[in-house]
Amino acid sequence: MQLSREALQRAYRQMKVIREFEERLHTEIQTGEIAGFTHLYCGQEAVAVGVCEHLDIDDKIVSTHRGHGHCLAKGCELNGMMAEIWGSREGLCKGKGGSMHIADIDKGMLGANGIVGAGAPIAVGAALSAKIDNKGKVAIAFSGDGACNQGTTFEAMNFAVVTQAPCIFVFENNHYSEHTGVDYAVGTARDIASRAEAFGMKVWRADGTDFFAVHDTMREVLDFVRGGGGPAAVEFDTERFFGHFEGDPQRYRAKGEIERIRESRDCLKNFRISVTGAKLLTDADLDQIDQDVLDSIEAAVVAARAADRPTPEDVLSDVYIAY
């Protein structure tokens, strides 16, 4: 916890933005205004932020179907994201991608991805580019506990080891892939990290609901990888507060599970307890951030609603040819 006051404020703000972004979407989706499939990241904020706070614009990340948190943490603009989810022409992808395909290449955010497991090989490619450029930059592949059973994820890990690509595989184990438990679907003798280790990588594990655990772990990981140690993997144990997708009845949960994790494994709550306890920030400091964030979310929603809608001609642009 050797972070400056500013750094702490920034980290909290980043997590809070993700939280409120998702909570607000959760509400808005009920109205039917938002189209398509939306997977909320709520509960996992400490991972996205604890990882991305170490990165700069030349480091790359590749995300998943549950990508809003990674996007926001990597610096994608809030209004552009909201507008994208609203399917607006002013969205980050002009309304062509939507929730599952938000990308901002200039920010080093190489895309959310609707295909489970597809991101890992792409991250290895970005890491190979960094290796060629030789400036100590890295690429991060975010994957879920479900994605870690997809052949592409395995291929990517071996590929990264063979090519010594500066790639970091971040596994967010939130215990579920859709409606299936990790204990069933990941046959691994021990944990996901051990499987990664068997591919020849150095691995770490930490509590993904604890911002400081994530942040500290990632400092070590990044020192190792930026220093030329080759690829690495980290498994974060975390929690997803909402259903797999919006509308999921969640019959696979234990009774009281959501209340329990919201109570005891909420990264924002625990961050507040830590920093106020250690007198690094006051409740008032954090309350102020909370208010700012809520205001910015409200503004983003208002803007998204008012934003230009795409036109039929837009279908035909951004692709080399239309027959």
Partner 1 sequence: MAQMMYRDAVLTTIAEEMERDSSVVVLGEDVVGGMGTPGGPEAIGGIWSTSTGLFDKFGKDRVIDTPISESAIIGAAAGLALAGKRPIAELMFADFIGVSLDQIWNQTAKFRYMFGGKTKCPVVIRMAYGAGYNAAAQHSQSVHQILTGMPGLKVVMPSTPADVKGLLRQAIRDDDPVIFLEHKALYGMSGEVPEGADQIIPFGHARLARAGEDVTIISSGLLLGFCEAVADKLAAEGIGCDVIDLRTTSPLDEEAIIDSVEVTGRVVVVDEAPPRCGLAADICALIAARAFASLKAPPQAVTPPHTPIPFARELESAYLPSVDKIEAAVRHVLGWR
Ligand X SMILES: Cc1ncc(C[n+]2csc(CCOP(=O)(O)OP(=O)(O)O)c2C)c(N)n1
In the complex, which residue's CB is closest to ligand X? 144
Give the closest residue to 239 by CA, choosing from 140, 142, 119, 145: 145
**162 lies in the binding site for ligand X (CB under 6 A):** no
In the complex, minimum distance from the CB of residue 109 to partner 1, in angstroms, rounded to a whole number: 10
Q: Which is nearer to partner 1, 104 or 191 (CB)?
A: 104
**217 lies in the binding site for ligand X (CB under 6 A):** no
Between CA 157 and CA 276 the distance in angstroms is 40
In the complex, minimum distance from the CB of residue 123 to Mg ion, in angstroms, rounded to a whole number: 18
Q: Half-sphere exposure of residue 95, counting CA atoms within 13 Å on the CB side?
A: 20
Q: Give the one residue of 189, 284, 316, 319 binding a second copy; rule: CB under 8 A.
A: 189
- Phi, psi values for residue 234, rounded to 5°: -135, 135
Q: Give the one residue of 194, 253, 258, 285 binding partner 1; rule: CB under 8 A.
A: 253
Q: How large is the greatest C-alpha to C-alpha distance in the chain, in angstroms?
A: 64
Q: Which does 93 bind (CB under 5 to 8 A by kind): a second copy, partner 1, ligand X, none?
A: partner 1
Q: Which does 100 bind (CB under 5 to 8 A by kind): partner 1, a second copy, ligand X, none?
A: partner 1
Burial 238-270 (b: 16+ CB within 10 A, else e): bbbbbbbbbeeeeeebeeeebeebeeebbbbeb
For the segment 34-63, give every residue that binds partner 1 (CB under 8 A). 35-37, 60, 62
In the complex, minimum distance from the CB of residue 175 to Mg ion, in angstroms, rounded to a whole number: 7
Q: Give the one residue of 38, 63, 150, 209 binding a second copy; rule: CB under 8 A.
A: 150
- Please, are residues 91 and 84 in contact by the beta-carbon 8 Å criterion? yes
Q: Give the one residue of 77, 158, 226, 258 binding partner 1; rule: CB under 8 A.
A: 158
Q: Which does 322 bind (CB under 5 to 8 A by kind): partner 1, ligand X, Mg ion, none?
A: partner 1
In the complex, minimum distance from the CB of residue 231 to a second copy, in angstroms, rounded to a whole number: 9
Site string for ligand X, 258-297 (x = CB under 6 A): ----------------------------------------
DSSP of 96-147: SS-GGG--BGGGTB----SSTT-HHHHHHHHHHHHHHHTSS--EEEEEETTG
Between CA 35 and CA 161 the distance in angstroms is 40
**171 lies in the binding site for a second copy (CB under 8 A):** no
Give the closest residue to 106 by CA, choosing from 122, 124, 90, 93: 93
- Which residues pair with residue 236 across a beta bridge? 172, 206
The contact set with ligand X (CB under 6 A) reads 64-66, 114-117, 144-147, 174, 176-178, 240, 244
